[in-house]
Amino acid sequence: MSAEVISHTHGGGPGRVERYQERLADAAKAYERDRYRDALKLLKPLAEALPGASAVRELYGLTLYRLGRWDGAIRELEAFRALERDDYDQHPTLADCYRAKKRWKQVEELWEELRQASPSAELVAEGRIVAAGALADRGKLAEAIELLEKARTDNKRPRPHHLRLWYATADLYERAGETPRARDLFQRIFAADPDLYDTADRLRSIR
C-alpha cells in the first residue's frame, strides 16, 4: 500500500490532519488483522472527506476487494490509479476485480500496462496469474497455460512469487488433463513449501 501521509492540502488544518492520519492508521491496523468491516467503517468517511488522498483510496479499495465488493473496489482503485499514475502496485488487484465482473478488456489492458512497465518480478507474476485466470475463465486453457509458461519454472531457489506461479500453472495443467505435468509442479511446490495452499491435498488427489 502507498506510504503517503495525509497532507494539509488533503485534510485542512493541523488538528484535522492529525485526526485523519490517526483514523487511517487505525484502519490500516484493522485491515492487517483481517478486520475488514472495522476498516471499512473508518475508511468510508475518510474517502468522502479526502477524495484526493491516494493512501485512503488505495486502502479503501483493498478493503472493499477483500469483502468481495467489486464495483466499489474498482471505483476506489481506479481513483488511486488516477492519482498515482506511476504506481502499479494495485494493478493485479484491480485486474482481479474486473475479472470477477467478467470485464475481460480491462483485465487485458491492465496486464499489458503492467507487463510493459515491469515494476518488479513479484508484481508482474501476480498480474500474469490474474491475466491467465481470466483466459481460463473463458475456457482458453491453452492460452492461459502458455501465458504462465512464459515465466521461468526452473528456479533452483524459488521465491514466493515463483511458487504462486507454479501453483497456478499446475492447477491449469490438471484442468487441461495434463496430469503428469501437474503432478511434477505440485511436487516441486511441496518440496519448497509443503504448507502452501492445498498443495499436499492436490498431490494426494492426482491419479
Express each pLDDT in 107-130 by its tens digit: 999 999 999 999 999 999 999 999
pLDDT band at 16 (very low <50, low <70, confident <90, very high): confident
> Are 123 and 202 members of one domain?
no
In this predicted structure, the answer to whether residue 142 has a pLDDT above a threshold of 70 is yes
Express each pLDDT in 150-188 by its tens digit: 887 667 889 999 999 999 999 999 999 999 999 999 999
C-alpha cell at 190: 511441496
Angle in degrees, CA 95, 98, 101, rounded to 5: 155
Q: What's the gap between Cα 186 and its chain centre?
A: 22
DSSP assignment of 148-180 equals HHTS----SS--HHHHHHHHHHHHHHHHTT-HH
> Are 64 and 93 members of one domain?
no
**Final residue of a domain: which of 87, 114, 133?**
87
> Are 119 and 163 members of one domain?
no
> Are 207 and 163 members of one domain?
yes
Number of structural domains (the chain) is 3
Mark out the alpha helices in 50-178 (DSSP H runs): 54-66, 70-83, 91-100, 104-117, 121-137, 141-149, 160-175
Mean pLDDT of the chain, nearest integer: 92
Domain span at residue 114?
89-149
φ, ψ of residue 103 to 5 degrees: the values are -100, 80
Lowest mean pLDDT among 5-14, 71-80, 192-201: 5-14
> Are 8 and 81 members of one domain?
yes
> Are 156 and 139 members of one domain?
no
- Cβ atoms of 194 and 200 closer than 8 Å: yes
**Final residue of a domain: which of 66, 87, 108?**
87
User: Within the chain, what is the greatest distance between any pair of CA atoms?
Assistant: 65
In this predicted structure, the answer to whether residue 20 has a pLDDT above a threshold of 70 is yes
DSSP label of 75: H
> Are 13 and 74 members of one domain?
yes
CATH, residue 51? 1.25.40.10
> Are 43 and 76 members of one domain?
yes
